[in-house]
A and B are shown apart, each in its own frame.
Chain A
Amino acid sequence: MMGYLSVALAVALAAFGSAYGQGIAARAAMEGTARQPEAAGDIRTTLILALAFIEALTLFSFVIAILLWTKIVV
């Protein structure tokens, strides 16, 4: 039972952290675009890059959670 709890907790914590970080990144991108609309293309590319970086950490945790799941449930 603790196995299931640990898997769920791992993914939940990772998702929370990633959502918070990506929200901050999106806010900064939108403020930058509002301040200078000509740079919208550059800001969009950098935003996508930053979002993928932040998402990657969540996905590492997801992969570990899947490995744990297949081991625990046998």
Chain B
Amino acid sequence: MELALVVAVVVIALFFDYTNGFHDAANAIATSVSTRALTPRLALLMSAAMNFLGAFLGTEVAQTVGEGIISTPSGRQGLVIVISALVGAICWNLITWYFGLPSSSSHALIGGVVGSAFVADGASAVLGEGVLGKVLIPAVIAPVLAFVVGAVAINLVYGIVGRERPGPVNRGFRYGQVISGGLLALAHGTNDAQKTMGVITLALIANGNLSADSDVPTWVVICAASAISLGTYVGGWRIIRTMGTRIIKMDAAQGFSAQGAGAAVILASSHFGFPLSTTQVISGGVMGAGAGKRVSAVRWGVAGNIVAAWILTLPCAAAVGALAYGVTRIFGTGAAGPIVVSAIGLGLTAYAFARRYRQGAPVPV
């Protein structure tokens, strides 16, 4: 019975990881494609490969998600907590996608973990210090930091090469974007793939397959790396088809500065085990590089969306995770509850996609 639940956790977690790559593919490639630094096909291949490699660069974020957010649960209840958290995160992402609300997959996952653990074992199950120190405060600081780095960097660039002929300068920064875009995809892999590794590790510890202080197993790293990489590749093609003209226009120097800022902040945060919303950090870098050139060129509504996502995502995803756990308990302590909750989540996903297609609107990614 427990083995079936562990397999369910792994499958749902990898599905979450796949959708994360699918959803975030545009972040790493958008500026490289829009400045014609890379062709869409090459940008996509590079992004998928670098996401895969990034997942192997450390496990600090995985350890934070696995051990630093909630007290490690045990037994079947622990597995149910993890499944409820995943279903809650997926459902919240789906709700926000359907209604066009700003969200963060990373914060949804952490919110789901906190909500289901809170309902299962009470407030003592939630490690308040971990949530505040490792998630909430970095969530506020990181996008602002990326904005500052992006703004300072682009001013530095214009100060150094502003009087040179634009031809060679643009060509040079387009070459640079091949590297900065690759680093950004690498950074995305380090932070986002590790969150899934953390959740799977949490389930394995809860089930007694691993001791509480174990490292993340290699097969978990490979599976998470593959899922996010595949999601990036598949999602990217959808983006190229549906979002071709919606990519923000910026020059190559701005693209380089924005990608460099995002990569620097995410890589540094991953090194110290802070699970971030990579989308929010990259948006911060893009806005900083935009504001550095002309403040009015920035779509400040994006900043409003980030603030709204800060306020909404964690508590709402926690509520949905708590609800998912509550529903599983209606069916007792067996496997029926998690199966029903997973089926409801899957059904909602299929219904939302079908309804969107019937309405004729492109699926936003």
- Is B truly associated with A? no
